[in-house]
Amino acid sequence: MQRRTFLTGTLLGAAVAAVPLDALLSTRASAAVTAPVTSLDALQNAIDRAVPGDRIVLADGTYTVPSGRAVSVSGKHGTSSAPITIVSESRGGAVLQGERSFVLSNSSHITLSGFAFRQSTTLEIPASCPGVRLTRNDFRFADISGLDWVVVRGDDAKIDRNRFHDKTTEGIFVVVDGPGSTAMAQRLHIFRNHFSGHSFAGANGGEPIRLGVSSRALSSAHAVVEYNLFERCDGDPETISVKSSDNTVRHNTIRDSRGGIVLRHGNHTTTEGNYLIGGTEGVRVYGNDHLVVNNYLSGLSGRALVIGSGTTRDHHPGETTEERRGNDACDRAVIVHNTLIGNAGTLSGETRDYEPRDVVVADNLLVAAAGSLVAMGKTTGFTWQSNILWGAASNGNIPSGGYRRIDPLLRQESDGISRLTAGSPAIGAATLVSASVADDIDGHQRGTARDIGADEYTTLPPVRRPLTAADVGPNAA
């Protein structure tokens, strides 16, 4: 498929000029490299004529979409190998103002890249639009209370290398729903984004990412949220709020934020290899059959890891709206190879009517200078195995056979992370055989003799570290 680059009619005879290409967008050689379109009318005309493989470039500048209008992408279909790509001339160079920008309907495999979105209504990926990608954009919508910025209902969407920033009112950066009232959008991939500066002070409704909602809790989404950086995300106690089933949340960094990772509704989600540093909330777990592995939680002023109790035992089809909104007790979770250091509340439970059951807590490293390392409420059928406890904090109510109190010989390294040193009693001491954990939080192979905690001792440099602004956002690799 040969790609075409669209331009305004007045520029058809102009000299050929190079157009910057997005390095990570799929490109093929065009017949000619030409100047970009320079007006919203020309952009709309180019979209209306687009075919698979076309690449439409909007010149840098500020464009105000008139009230009641939008840039319509309707009935346009690219393919997975030849999407229709609509791109700013340079990253952040084309600024879209007004009530709405792009409105998608009955389209597929559309890529929107490099824009600075400054609109005042939600940008939606409808259920009728699979395969839509938002990449390398800068999102800072009007600071309107209750405005959710991006809502995803279509399958196979990608949201990558964007920046979402500066909101002071109620509203969510990215909401993931689906068609109807109970289904979830399938196979969403959210990666390499930078979320920052959400300062809404209310108790609820300011999440950076909400993956589902209570009515959709039992629907599988198969979403992957990975390698995102969250900084100063204070709009809600939940930075990543999971309210659906069968998802993966991995290798994210949450720093200096009120919110944590909360498996609020749903089952079968993996929370792996995340850094939560210097904020308030850590990881809270409700629902059934989750895996919480290789996470590093440090310097949190609230509760680091909560194994939740419930107002109900299990969510189920046919329950009332109020029952579905309640907490589902955590059952059969496996919590293994996590490191919790210097948090105000280390590992704790709750006191709702339905206690968590049959949870495995094994091969974790718990260190604190004050309070109790373990403060569980009522539990049933828990397995406590091969955890290491250390510091001036008391043991709390962990069963005596479920831990050793011994100095793990940690060293804080240049990236602020405390890792094992040679001779640590954690080396080779992990005993849980039911969980397959191939590597550690740094990306090093664990092998057969696994170490306790998130870090596997090695003299090799980490493959993965806590993310910085240079690793994410519009200019990330």
Per-residue CA distances from 236 to 61, 99, 261, 386 (Å): 35, 26, 11, 34
The mean pLDDT of 430-442, rounded to a whole number, is 92
The mean of the pLDDT values for the chain is: 93
Q: What is the pLDDT of residue 33?
A: 42
Dump pLDDT digits (tens) for 217-274: 999 999 999 999 999 999 999 999 999 999 999 999 999 999 999 999 999 999 999 9
Residue 75 contacts residue 106 (beta carbons within 8 Å): yes
Percent of the chain, pLDDT > 90?
A: 90
Strand 418-420 and strand 410-412: the pairing is antiparallel
Query: What pTM does this model have?
Result: 0.93
Residue 451 has pLDDT above 80, yes or no: yes
* 290: Cβ contacts below 8 Å, ≥ 6 apart: 263, 267, 268, 269, 270, 271, 330, 333, 334
**Cα 127 from Cα 1, distance rounded (Å):** 27
Q: What is the pLDDT of residue 1?
A: 46
Q: What are phi and psi of 8, to 5 degrees?
A: -70, 155
User: What are the domain boundaries of the chain?
Assistant: 36-98, 122-420
The mean pLDDT of 158-183, rounded to a whole number, is 97
Dump pLDDT digits (tens) for 41-55: 999 999 999 999 999
Q: What is the pLDDT of residue 202?
A: 92
Residue 387 contacts residue 366 (beta carbons within 8 Å): yes
The mean pLDDT of 368-392, rounded to a whole number, is 98
CATH number, span 122-420: 2.160.20.10
Residue 272 contacts residue 294 (beta carbons within 8 Å): yes
- pLDDT band with cut points at 50, 70 and 90 for residue 34: low
Q: What is the pLDDT of residue 321?
A: 83
Residue 228 contacts residue 196 (beta carbons within 8 Å): no
Q: What is the pLDDT of residue 5?
A: 57
